[in-house]
């Protein structure tokens, strides 16, 4: 698609400010910038954060310019002594800073409108890297700059997110856009409750069929995301992404529950609604988290009736209808108890389907026969379907609980689809 065209442009993002090297602040501007540059056909190859120290700042700008043809900086354009991004860029490019009288008068006017005189320190915001294009800031005092030098471009933006975003869309994007230039379009496919390495093995044919497509596997607890992208106009890219998606679906079948912003609980909710079925739960070790995920979906009251969170054994009997004999004979964490809980939830709430979870989330409570991570899931449908799964999940309490909710939702999803799932 890009045959004969110029090579794709690359970019480096640099966020300047010592607060970004602390324990609380992340450079969220880079997410916005990456997406906007992708659409212009500019690939972000790296991003960095650096403090206000002069030597570090100069070194970082030098490195960035060696690594990509475009450098976008955010922050360090303010009036204080530790705002030195402009000075550092001028130093690296071997240019002077010159005071711009037009910017100076705009700044003074801005302060006058707010009812006070411009403090002297703000005058430095009117300094311009010689030869730079000035980018107007309609939401703040610091203007931005675009400087070109030997085929490289540096864009200097303020760090305040709403100022940066407005300046990009107002002034930077029009300067960087190239007519007909293909952009990068992304897609994400999602799989639930499968180990990353099993997914990896199953999708080998997709890698083989698309050797030049960058495919990223991303594992979150209970979910694997497959991210890929294609370069071209929107239409060209969609056609390529559709082909790759079809190959993923051939490799993984119904294990793919959604794409992009889809959630597993949303997918399950959509199926329950489509099939006209209602759901109730009996939860033990997940302690309400499974109900919590299902009710994250707006409108879930259409199909979700409720849950009995039966942490104590007496509650398993009273609310979920598990017989005292079953608890006595097989224990609270057993296939038998799980099956009775699922049936009990269905009958108690009068739902079409009951799903249950009982297990040992740890850190205490494990035994050699039933170690921490042992979980029993069961499903009981009024149509006569009865399912059970035993899980052995590694990790800590939070991970076991999260994995368990994904496994339960996945079991329910496959039941509603009429498929069996990779594990069965």
One of 156, 362, 370, 378 touching a second copy (CB under 8 A): 362
* Pair 214, 228: CB distance under 8 Å: yes
Q: Is 268 in the site for a second copy (CB under 8 A)?
A: no
One of 4, 7, 94, 115 touching a second copy (CB under 8 A): 115
Compute the distance between CA of residue 166 and CA of residue 150 in angstroms, rounded to an integer: 28
* Smallest distance, a second copy to C-beta of residue 150, A: 19
Q: Is 197 in the site for a second copy (CB under 8 A)?
A: yes
User: Encoding tokens for residue 241?
Assistant: 């992404």
Q: How many CA atoms lie within 13 A of 1 on its CB side?
A: 17
Q: What is the DSSP string of 205-263?
A: HHHHH-TTS-EEEEEETTEEEEEEEEEESHHHHHHHHHHHHHHHHHHHGGGEEEETT--
Contact positions with a second copy (CB under 8 A) in 172-191? 186
Q: How far is CA 355 from the centre of its chain?
A: 29
Contact positions with a second copy (CB under 8 A) in 12-41? 17-28, 30-32, 34-35, 38
Q: Is 301 in the site for a second copy (CB under 8 A)?
A: yes
Cβ-based nearer residue to a second copy, 26 or 239:
26
Q: Is 264 in the site for a second copy (CB under 8 A)?
A: no
Cβ-based nearer residue to a second copy, 101 or 261:
261
Compute the distance between CA of residue 35 and CA of residue 413 in angstroms, rounded to an integer: 32
Q: How many other CB atoms are found less than 10 A from the CB of residue 157?
A: 30
Site of tokens 């009068």:
350
Contact positions with a second copy (CB under 8 A) in 64-103? 67, 78-82
Q: Is 209 in the site for a second copy (CB under 8 A)?
A: no
One of 304, 321, 343, 378 touching a second copy (CB under 8 A): 304
Cβ-based nearer residue to a second copy, 35 or 253:
35
Compute the distance between CA of residue 214 and CA of residue 230 in angstroms, rounded to an integer: 9
One of 109, 148, 169, 396 touching a second copy (CB under 8 A): 396
One of 40, 42, 60, 327 touching a second copy (CB under 8 A): 60
Cβ-based nearer residue to a second copy, 179 or 208:
208
Cβ-based nearer residue to a second copy, 133 or 287:
287
Closest CA to 293 of 264, 261, 271: 264
Cβ-based nearer residue to a second copy, 55 or 383:
55
SS (H, E, C) 328-388: HHHCCCCHHHHHHHHHHHHHHHCCCEEEEEEECCCCCCCCCCCCCCEEEEEEEECCCCEEE
Backbone φ and ψ of 390, nearest 5°:
-110, 130
One of 104, 134, 173, 198 touching a second copy (CB under 8 A): 198
* Smallest distance, a second copy to C-beta of residue 226, A: 11
Q: What is the DSSP letter of 320?
A: T
Q: Is 258 in the site for a second copy (CB under 8 A)?
A: no
One of 1, 46, 246, 367 touching a second copy (CB under 8 A): 46
């Amino acid at each position: 698609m890009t045959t004969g065209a110029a090579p794709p442009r690359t970019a480096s993002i640099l966020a300047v400010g010592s607060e970004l090297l602390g324990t609380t602040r992340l450079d969220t501007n880079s997410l916005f910038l990456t997406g906007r540059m992708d659409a212009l056909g500019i690939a972000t190859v790296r991003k960095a954060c650096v403090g206000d120290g002069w030597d570090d700042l100069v070194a970082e700008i030098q490195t960035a310019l060696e690594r990509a043809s475009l450098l976008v900086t955010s922050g360090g354009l303010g009036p204080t002594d530790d705002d030195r991004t402009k000075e550092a860029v001028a130093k690296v490019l071997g240019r002077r800073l010159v005071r711009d009288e037009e910017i100076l008068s705009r700044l003074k006017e801005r302060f006058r409108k707010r009812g006070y005189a411009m403090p002297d320190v703000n005058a430095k915001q009117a300094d311009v890297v010689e030869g730079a294009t000035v980018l107007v800031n309609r939401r703040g005092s610091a203007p931005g700059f675009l400087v070109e030098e030997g085929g490289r471009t540096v864009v200097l933006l303020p760090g305040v997110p709403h100022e940066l975003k407005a300046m990009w869309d107002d002034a930077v994007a029009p300067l960087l856009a190239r007519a007909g230039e293909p952009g990068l379009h992304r897609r994400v496919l999602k799989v639930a409750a499968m180990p990353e390495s099993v997914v990896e093995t199953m999708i080998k044919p997709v890698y083989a069929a698309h050797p030049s497509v960058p495919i990223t596997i991303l594992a979150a607890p209970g979910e694997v995301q497959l991210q890929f992208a294609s370069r071209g106009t929107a239409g060209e890219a969609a056609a390529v992404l559709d082909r790759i998606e079809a190959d993923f679906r051939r490799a993984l079948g119904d294990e793919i529950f959604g794409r992009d912003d889809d959630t597993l609980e949303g997918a399950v909710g959509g199926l329950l609604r489509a099939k006209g079925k209602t759901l109730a739960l009996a939860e033990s070790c997940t302690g309400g988290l499974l109900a919590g995920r299902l009710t994250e979906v707006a409108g879930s009251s259409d199909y979700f009736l409720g849950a009995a969170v039966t942490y104590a054994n007496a509650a398993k009997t009273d609310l979920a209808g598990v017989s005292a004999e079953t608890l006595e004979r097989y224990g609270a964490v057993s296939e038998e108890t799980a099956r009775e809980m699922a049936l009990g939830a269905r009958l108690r709430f009068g739902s079409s389907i009951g799903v249950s979870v009982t297990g040992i989330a740890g850190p205490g409570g494990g035994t050699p026969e039933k170690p921490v991570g042992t979980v029993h899931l069961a499903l009981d449908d009024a149509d006569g379907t009865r399912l059970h799964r035993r899980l052995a999940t590694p990790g800590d309490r939070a991970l076991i609980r999260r994995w368990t909710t994904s496994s339960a939702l996945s079991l329910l999803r496959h039941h509603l689809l009429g498929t069996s799932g990779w594990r069965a």
